[in-house]
Chains A and B, each alone.
Chain A
Amino acid sequence: MTLDAIVDGISEVACDVLVIGGGTAGPMAALKAKQKNPKANVILLEKANVKRSGAISMGMDGLNNAVIPGYATPEQYTKEITIANDGIVNQKAVLKYAQNCYKIIEELDSYGIRFLKNENGDFAVKKVHHIGTYVLPMPNGETVKKALYRQLRRARLLISNRYMATRLLTGTDGRVAGAIAVNTRTSEFLVIKAKSVILCMGAAGRLGLPTSGYMYGTYENAANAGDGYAMAYHAGAALANLECFQINPLIKDYNGPACAYVAGPFGAYTANNEGARFIECDYWSGQMMLEFFNELQSGKGPVFLKLNHLHEDTIKEIETILHKVERPTRGLFHEGRGTDYRREMIEMHISEIGFCSGHSASGVFVDDFGRTTIPGLYAAGDMASVPHNYMLGAFTNGAIAGEDAAEYAANVDFASFDAGAVALEKERVLAPTKREDGIPPNQIEYKTRRLVNDYLQPPKVTRKYELGQTRLAEVRDDLENRMMVRNSHELMRALEAHSILDCADMAAFASLYRTESRWGLYHLRTDFPHKNDEDWFCHTLLSKKDGRMACEKRAVDPYVVPIAEDERDLYDKQRIRASA
């Protein structure tokens, strides 16, 4: 028997609400859609297996943005996130998240996911952010995915594993009509007609190329290739602020999180080669990342995570969390290197670029209900434009989108769509299976991502970007006309290569459009080194118009939580001032 042999086949199903992506936001969206309307037919589609898919596959070590009564208010949180993102946010969506997230924490608590509590039984929230207090550790965070899965089983949700969505179907009236998916083990097609669709497909985490030599040794779960951004784009939805990249501080080579959020409240910090602090606050923002980058480039680099001044008991406690919960191979990595938190500082670095609203701000443009610019189409989690989502944002905004999508579906009929669209998509997807000779998808992907590193990584230089675009267009010609696969697994990788190239093109296009610098390192343009509020205090929306990429400005909606003049630049002062 040939491994993952390609089988010809197509079937069709219909549902009220289709949720694509079974990681974090997706399961919660599906659950809430079903609870909102128990009669609704809800399908949860996942290209791997919902049991362990997505960014929290192994677990999560804490909530980074918990707005808990007594510690923080929704208004205060909204203000901090606005300032951390240089003012370019849809405050209504941030505020709604902040107002709803405590309810979700209580719900997760009822699922059996434990959060750190103090001796009085109150949540033990820690301060990591510049201004407020929002970080809540999860001592048994490795159970989160299992607890979630139990809820899905209990609700008797229809789960469809091993189906990778490739394109959305759009109705003749402009509404969403469903999606087309292909089986990752057999290449059989599935057409899903749906009244509403929620995209929860994660970050574009395989955009830049790690220098380790392993294409999947990425910071984000490598399964998150940016499929959701590409699907939304090809359906005509608007994507916001894609030039605001995500770049993560990490353990060098391991490429996993350094988790200063976890270790910080215990007294650990990010240090330069002199062992000295150089940033005021370890909370991630573009401005913080710029100081990190500057330190790396300076004579005071590299940058380290410093714990070796802490007490043995404290280090043990940190180790238990860091080596058990979110990325447990980290302990193995340190063991192999012979690095010990007790003895030495741990070398850090910054990641290659990606898109992810989890820690940054770009994504499919949504309002405070998770609605995209296409009627009936929603997005939530790392791929939607609500900034600094993290895991709790994916859960909360997934819940909000799930409820609204169920309500929307109850009031509409299926949108009719052009049947020819399915045949055309089948032909596009299967093209690499029809070639006898050609380029394997891993080479197409490697070249795309190497060009991303060479030409798109900040600081952004216009001439380099233009060269990058030319070279990426050459890769696209190869991808469309010469890519070849031998089985269904390789076909999944080929489709991911499409998503990665689409994201690379969008990253370049959006970056060239915004002719200013903003968000620290995320959009640092050498030709336009200053922030220009007069012309660019706005979102940029990228979308497909007449078959081509286009960008436009969109005004930032009036704030619902006012920001005082002297508060606006609080995140601009990240570097520790020289001591007298």
Chain B
Amino acid sequence: MPLAPTFTTVPVVVDDAKCIAEKGCTVCVDVCPLDVLRISDTTGKAYMAYDECWYCMPCEADCPTGAVKVNIPYLLK
């Protein structure tokens, strides 16, 4: 059967202005237990690549510039 991408909101938001991933920082990507964050090839910034979040928060707590924010997603709210 054909595959389709599903339209959804993801809980982890990265402030591109604060994110320093283009300087080689990978802290948030490294500390995610579910391994769902990546550095974008196009923007050079961190982003949530997979919607598989546990809302645990090391990405936000360990970010050296305070660029990462974990939100409670809509269906849990």
Question: Are A48 and B72 in contact, with the CB atoms below 8 A?
Answer: no
Question: Are B77 and A329 in contact, with the CB atoms below 8 A?
Answer: no
Q: A185 CA to B30 CA in the complex, in Å?
A: 12
Interface status of A216 (Cβ within 8 A of chain B): yes
| Contact (A216, B54) CB under 8 Å given A1-B41, A332-B72 | yes
Question: Are A222 and B35 in contact, with the CB atoms below 8 A?
Answer: no
Among the listed stretches A49-57, A277-285, A388-396, which one makes contact with chain B, having 4 or more residues with CB under 8 Å of it?
Answer: A49-57
Annotate B50-73 by CB proximity to A: 1 below 8 A, 0 otherwise. 101111111001100000001111
Question: Are B35 and A184 in contact, with the CB atoms below 8 A?
Answer: yes
| Contact (A52, B33) CB under 8 Å given A3-B49, A329-B70 | yes
Chain A residues closer than 8 Å to B77, beta-carbon distance? 333, 336-337
Of chain A, the residue at the smallest CB distance from B59 is A52
Interface SS of chain B: helix, strand, loop or mixed?
loop
Of chain B, the residue at the smallest CB distance from A215 is B52
Question: Are A440 and B3 in contact, with the CB atoms below 8 A?
Answer: yes
Interface size in chain B (residues, C-beta < 8 A): 28
Q: Smallest Cβ distance from B75 to chain A, in angstroms?
A: 4
Q: A51 CA to B38 CA in the complex, in Å?
A: 17
Q: Smallest Cβ distance from B15 to chain A, in angstroms?
A: 17
Interface size in chain A (residues, C-beta < 8 A): 39
Interface status of B34 (Cβ within 8 A of chain A): yes
Q: Which of A1, A52, A214 contacts B76 (CB 8 A)?
A: A214
How many pairs of A and B residues are in contact by the CB < 8 Å rule?
89
Interface status of A328 (Cβ within 8 A of chain B): yes
Interface SS of chain A: helix, strand, loop or mixed?
loop
Chain A residues closer than 8 Å to B17, beta-carbon distance? none
Q: A333 CA to B62 CA in the complex, in Å?
A: 20
Interface status of B31 (Cβ within 8 A of chain A): yes
| Contact (A333, B75) CB under 8 Å given A49-B30, A52-B58, A58-B61 | no
Chain A residues closer than 8 Å to B32, beta-carbon distance? 48-49, 52
Q: Smallest Cβ distance from B41 to chain A, in angstroms?
A: 6
Q: A53 CA to B35 CA in the complex, in Å?
A: 10
Chain B residues 17-60 with CB under 8 Å of chain A are: 30-35, 38, 41, 49-50, 52-58
Q: A185 CA to B50 CA in the complex, in Å?
A: 13
Question: Are A214 and B56 in contact, with the CB atoms below 8 A?
Answer: no
Of chain A, the residue at the smallest CB distance from B71 is A332
Q: A456 CA to B55 CA in the complex, in Å?
A: 27
Annotate A186-223 by CB proximity to B: 1 below 8 A, 0 otherwise. 00000000000000000000000000111111100111
Q: A465 CA to B50 CA in the complex, in Å?
A: 34
Chain B residues closer than 8 Å to A218, beta-carbon distance? 54
Question: Are B76 and A253 in contact, with the CB atoms below 8 A?
Answer: yes
Interface status of A437 (Cβ within 8 A of chain B): yes
Question: Are A333 and B72 in contact, with the CB atoms below 8 A?
Answer: yes
Question: Are B73 and A329 in contact, with the CB atoms below 8 A?
Answer: no
Annotate A318-357 by CB proximity to B: 1 below 8 A, 0 otherwise. 0000000001110011001100000000000000000000
| Contact (A254, B76) CB under 8 Å given A57-B33, A58-B58, A223-B34 | yes
Q: A536 CA to B47 CA in the complex, in Å?
A: 53
Question: Are B76 and A221 in contact, with the CB atoms below 8 A?
Answer: no
Q: Smallest Cβ distance from B27 to chain A, in angstroms?
A: 9
Question: Are A221 and B54 in contact, with the CB atoms below 8 A?
Answer: yes
Chain B residues closer than 8 Å to A114, beta-carbon distance? none
Interface status of A531 (Cβ within 8 A of chain B): no
Interface status of A489 (Cβ within 8 A of chain B): yes
Chain A residues closer than 8 Å to B56, beta-carbon distance? 57-58, 221, 327, 329
Q: Smallest Cβ distance from B38 to chain A, in angstroms?
A: 7
Chain A residues closer than 8 Å to B72, beta-carbon distance? 254, 329, 332-333, 336
| Contact (A217, B71) CB under 8 Å given A49-B30, A49-B31, A489-B35 | no
Chain B residues closer than 8 Å to A336, beta-carbon distance? 72, 77
Q: Which of B31, B34, B54, B70 contacts A51 (CB 8 A)?
A: B31
Chain A residues closer than 8 Å to B62, beta-carbon distance? 52
Of chain B, the residue at the smallest CB distance from A210 is B76
Q: Smallest Cβ distance from B48 to chain A, in angstroms?
A: 12
Q: A332 CA to B61 CA in the complex, in Å?
A: 14
Chain B residues closer than 8 Å to A493, beta-carbon distance? 52
Q: Smallest Cβ distance from A376 to chain B, in angstroms?
A: 29
Chain B residues closer than 8 Å to A49, beta-carbon distance? 30-33
Chain A residues closer than 8 Å to B49, beta-carbon distance? 3, 489
Tell which of B31, B32, B35 has the most Cβ of chain A within 10 Å. B35
Q: Smallest Cβ distance from B52 to chain A, in angstroms?
A: 5
Question: Are A53 and B3 in contact, with the CB atoms below 8 A?
Answer: no
Q: Smallest Cβ distance from A438 to chain B, in angstroms?
A: 9
Q: Smallest Cβ distance from B67 to chain A, in angstroms?
A: 17
Q: Smallest Cβ distance from A338 to chain B, in angstroms?
A: 10
Question: Are A3 and B54 in contact, with the CB atoms below 8 A?
Answer: no
Q: Which of A58, A489, A492 contacts B57 (CB 8 A)?
A: A58
User: What is the interface of chain A, defined by CB distance below 8 A to chain B?
Assistant: 1, 3, 47-49, 51-54, 57-58, 142, 162, 184-185, 212-218, 221-223, 253-254, 327-329, 332-333, 336-337, 437, 440, 489, 492-493
The 10 lowest CB-CB distance pairs between A and B, nearest first, are: A52-B31, A213-B75, A52-B58, A329-B55, A222-B54, A223-B33, A48-B33, A216-B52, A336-B77, A57-B33
Can you offer 17 A-B residue contacts whose CB atoms are under 8 A? A49-B32, A51-B58, A52-B30, A53-B33, A57-B33, A185-B35, A212-B76, A216-B53, A217-B54, A217-B76, A222-B54, A223-B33, A254-B72, A329-B56, A329-B72, A332-B71, A333-B77
Q: A52-B58, A185-B35, A216-B34 are in contact. List 6 more A-B contacts (CB 8 A).
A: A58-B61, A212-B76, A214-B53, A216-B54, A254-B76, A328-B61
